Structure 1
Amino acid sequence: MATILENIKLPIKRNKKIPIYVVEEHNDALQFIYSAIGGKKLPVEGTVLLHLDAHPDMLIDRKLKGEDARSGRKLLPLLQIENWIVPAAAAGHVARVVWLRPPWAKQFSDGTRKFHVGDHPETGLLRVDSKEPYYLSDALFSTLLSNKRELTLTVEELSCETSKEDKMKNLLAKIDITQPYVLDIDLDFFSTGNPFLGLYENINLYDRLLPIFDFPLPESDDVETLEKLVESREQQLQELENLFEHLDKNNSLDSYTGNKSHLYNMVNELASVVLAEAKRLNEVPDWWAVYAGGCTRDQDGLPYHISTKEEIKETVDKALTPLLQSLPVPVLITIARSTDDGYCPPHQVDYIQSLVLESVMKVYDTDEPALYYLNVNIST
């Protein structure tokens, strides 16, 4: 029995050199983690993900079913950049996530927490029992879970200040990285854009979306209160999705047959302003882009910090490299560019990538990086 358990926890094979995979969209990193599991370089269960990013990427598609999360590689086409980690945890492949954030990213408070991910018994949809605002805002909270898995999330800041000896020792003690683990780096950790800030900026669209998509958190966090909140939030999000789906198809809400609620009135008023601006620009509005921007407006919106070239190099030299030198060796390394979607500034991404690769390859014995983003149409 002990041998069986050891085989579950430990990888059976080791890479001669650490592979590095560079992707564009961050969710594409997961296929290489799954391949490492299939190749017995990672265990089927219990992997640690060390995630350096300006965003947690730990949401769940509200319509993703638990059975899909456990469907192996069939899951991959269903994922997006913000929701690829928790489904892997639902399948048991990832047991712990360590999110190292830059100083300007504060979607979670620092520290360690445990929660469960599993299936809602009535709908089969994947949900978590975490009371974090991050999950409440997407109506993802539920205490009623089947097929549940425990997930440990540790959040800590990584900055140039961390390189000071006592602070690095303190950080290492808090994150407690053990093998086997995957080192996962998003280049927007070093400089972070917000693509929605430039969407119809002449009419201040991003600010206009706030009162439409925002919702107040309750003072109490008892389960009954949160369940009512989630039900109300789900209705709000579904109504907004219906409204923007109608706009996408008809470019107007004139023929909308749904509930003419206060939310309808706010979206209708916004639509008239957006249509006028789009007409001025001689273009057709991208209503799903407007909707996606609105979905980021809850809880203070997305992080935004465009670093200088000097700041980027200093962060690599004084934060990333000392961290890597202090860690055990990872099984594999994934790097996301995140520039096509505007999160890593396009004019900086190649510079950041070169510095990060130089740092990683200096510290570890690695293969030549596999630049997957240059061959995104290959079969996976």
Structure 2
Amino acid sequence: MASSIVAPKRARGPRGLPVYICEYHDEALRCIHHAIRKRHMPFDGLTMVHLDAHPDLSASATMPAETVFKSPHEVYYALRSDPGGIAQWILPAVYGGHFRCVWWVRPAWALQIADGDYDVTVGGCARPPDGGHESACSGARRAGGAGPALRGRDACTPGASLAPNGAPGKEAAKLGAALERVDEEPPKTIRISSREPYFVEDGLFCPTSAQAEPKPLRMLVSQLPSAEGAIPLLEAAGCGPGEQRPRQAASGSWTLDVCLDYFACGNPFLSRTRPRIAAPFAAVQNGASFRRRPVEDEAAFLAERDAFDAAYSAVLRGSGERGGLDAAPAGDGSLDTLLGAVGRFLPEDERVALLADLRTALGSARDSELQQILEAGDMVTLPLHAVTEEEIKERLAAFQAFVARLCSDAGLGSRPGAVTIARSVVDGFCPMRWLCTLERGVLEVLQLCFGTLGILYSDELDALEVQ
């Protein structure tokens, strides 16, 4: 009888650290799945250290949560098809059981979610039949408040199409099928138990008790720690000094994710607006009092948000009707009334300064700038940070020190199982001017810290997976 014993696999020699480079950040999910299949990382219990100007913690308003367990390729398609898909790729990995901890390391000028150590759950939850209160651009809050959140790159990418390759027939068929099911229970989509405004404004909040198959998530938010500062990932929430959470025990149980817009960031919604004009509008949007604290009453929060949006839009529309405010005197009663309506939503100790800066910007703005700011809405708050070559060098040096410390015995004690890098140039979030410098700089840091790299580009995955 022929032997049915399978010969053991031949041991392979040491490989370089897997480094995946993609253009759109949602493609990082496919890269992570590839790394798991290749056993560079375990399937579950992973920690992700996520350096980015945007949290990418939104979720699709249309993709059924169960898709995560049925077909990864359907998830990839849903993300690429959604205008906000570049900001919706992390929570599916949490719901799928891969990520147990996500640490968003933000630059100083990205304020979408308040710094903190949050223990939340991510699960499936049905949305209201009308789709909830979010706009057509679901997951559109990739901006920042002086603490919590706003709409964002979690935003609709300007000019984004709903289908990457254009499939009107297929989409029409899907729409027809959906209309036939209008009387059925709405599908459960991915939601989170956090009451931070970032999530509530996108219609993503759902208490754990109402979630299907909730998965625990430790969500950390902080800036890059200083050389002397504590590493938040190693600190236990609610514990005293010196008490730490257990480290990741095995090599490969964490992954490093870097978006190049962490180092230099553009706002594609304000491509024709001067930064000094946009800044006061962003400050007013970010300064709204209701966005500076966790949401206790969702309905009241949304009502206040809508009232603020109306007052803010009235200021822009009023200035546009007057053809700009270059000649508007300081005592213009109409403008004072409009600004006063906005001021009711601002903290008392900041109100005068914020409104004064806004008045100056209104008086200096071109008509085309006012129009673009009006069209951008609260996307005006998306991080926008112009850099110099010297600042790029400083930020790369800080990144190198951080990675070296994170992998040392004083940190996680191991190198990551894989690294994902998102360029984010085509969608307008990383300025093209800095692409080559930043990609080369990040790879040099990784090589200095880890030696040989096994670099793989996301457009090579199809060929690899059919071999």
TM-score by length of structure 2 reads 0.58
Pair 1:174–1:296, CA change in 2 (3 A):
farther
Pair 1:233–1:67, CA change in 2 (3 A):
farther
2:438 is the alignment partner of 1:352 = yes
By how many angstroms is 1:64 displaced?
2.7
2:416 is the alignment partner of 1:330 = yes
What runs of 5+ residues in structure 2 fail to find an aligned partner? Answer: 1-11, 80-84, 128-185, 237-244, 322-366, 408-413
Distance (Å, rounded) in 1 between the aligned partners of 2:112 and 2:294:
18
AA of the residue aligned to 1:190:
F
Task: Say whether the 8 Å CA contact 1:19–1:366 is kept in structure 2.
Answer: no
Q: 2:199 aligns with which of 126, 135, 140?
A: 135
What is residue 353 of structure 2 aligned with on the other side?
none
- 2:117 aligned counterpart, secondary structure: strand
Pair 1:117–1:318, CA change in 2 (3 A):
closer
What is residue 63 of structure 1 aligned with on the other side?
62
Q: 1:316 aligns with which of 389, 396, 404?
A: 396
Q: Which moved more, 1:328-337 or 1:68-77?
A: 68-77
What is residue 99 of structure 2 aligned with on the other side?
94
Q: 2:298 aligns with which of 226, 230, 241?
A: 226
Q: 2:114 aligns with which of 98, 109, 113?
A: 109
AA of the residue aligned to 2:398:
K
- C-alpha offsets along residues 21-47 of structure 1, whole Å, 9 cap, x if unaligned? 111111111101111222333222211
1:250-265 mapped onto 2 (5 Å cutoff): none
What is residue 254 of structure 1 aligned with on the other side?
none
AA of the residue aligned to 2:401:
T
- 1:115 aligned counterpart, secondary structure: strand
By how many angstroms is 1:81 displaced?
1.1
1:166-315 mapped onto 2 (5 Å cutoff): 166-167=228-229, 169-170=230-231, 173-174=234-235, 178=248, 179-199=252-272, 217=290, 225-227=297-299, 229=301, 293-294=376-377, 296-297=379-380, 301-315=381-395
- C-alpha offsets along residues 97-155 of structure 1, whole Å, 9 cap, x if unaligned? 01111111121222210111112246312211210011112121122211211111111
Distance (Å, rounded) in 2 between the aligned partners of 1:25 and 1:86:
16
What runs of 5+ residues in structure 1 fail to find an aligned partner? Answer: 1-12, 241-261, 274-279
- 1:347 aligned counterpart, secondary structure: helix
AA of the residue aligned to 2:119:
K
Task: Say whether the 8 Å CA contact 1:22–1:371 is kept in structure 2.
Answer: yes
- 1:36 aligned counterpart, secondary structure: helix
Task: Say whether the 8 Å CA contact 1:138–1:233 is kept in structure 2.
Answer: no
Distance (Å, rounded) in 1 between the aligned partners of 2:56 and 2:445:
24
Identity of aligned residues (%): 27
By how many angstroms is 1:351 displaced?
0.5
Distance (Å, rounded) in 2 between the aligned partners of 1:227 and 1:357:
46
By how many angstroms is 1:63 displaced?
2.4
Task: Say whether the 8 Å CA contact 1:192–1:345 is kept in structure 2.
Answer: yes
Task: Say whether the 8 Å CA contact 2:197–2:294 is kept in structure 1.
Answer: no
- 1:120 aligned counterpart, secondary structure: strand
Task: Say whether the 8 Å CA contact 2:19–2:453 is kept in structure 1.
Answer: yes
Pair 1:290–1:172, CA change in 2 (3 A):
same
What is residue 49 of structure 1 aligned with on the other side?
48
Task: Say whether the 8 Å CA contact 1:118–1:149 is kept in structure 2.
Answer: yes
What is residue 75 of structure 2 aligned with on the other side?
75
Task: Say whether the 8 Å CA contact 2:31–2:458 is kept in structure 1.
Answer: no
Pair 1:233–1:148, CA change in 2 (3 A):
farther
AA of the residue aligned to 2:440:
S
What is residue 28 of structure 2 aligned with on the other side?
29
User: For this pair of structures, how many residues does the alignment match?
Assistant: 323
- 1:19 aligned counterpart, secondary structure: strand
Distance (Å, rounded) in 1 between the aligned partners of 2:106 and 2:293:
28
Distance (Å, rounded) in 2 between the aligned partners of 1:101 and 1:172:
14
Task: Say whether the 8 Å CA contact 1:196–1:206 is kept in structure 2.
Answer: no
TM-score by length of structure 1 reads 0.70
By how many angstroms is 1:294 displaced?
3.1
Distance (Å, rounded) in 2 between the aligned partners of 1:320 and 1:372:
24
By how many angstroms is 1:217 displaced?
3.1
Distance (Å, rounded) in 2 between the aligned partners of 1:139 and 1:57:
15
Distance (Å, rounded) in 2 between the aligned partners of 1:308 and 1:219:
31
Q: 2:211 aligns with which of 145, 156, 163?
A: 145
Cα-Cα RMSD? 4.2
AA of the residue aligned to 2:390:
E
Task: Say whether the 8 Å CA contact 1:325–1:363 is kept in structure 2.
Answer: no
By how many angstroms is 1:315 displaced?
1.4
- Higher Rg of the two aligned structures: 2
- C-alpha offsets along residues 306-330 of structure 1, whole Å, 9 cap, x if unaligned? 1111111111113433433441201
Task: Say whether the 8 Å CA contact 2:109–2:383 is kept in structure 1.
Answer: yes
Pair 1:362–1:135, CA change in 2 (3 A):
same
2:198 is the alignment partner of 1:125 = no
AA of the residue aligned to 1:30:
L
- 1:348 aligned counterpart, secondary structure: helix
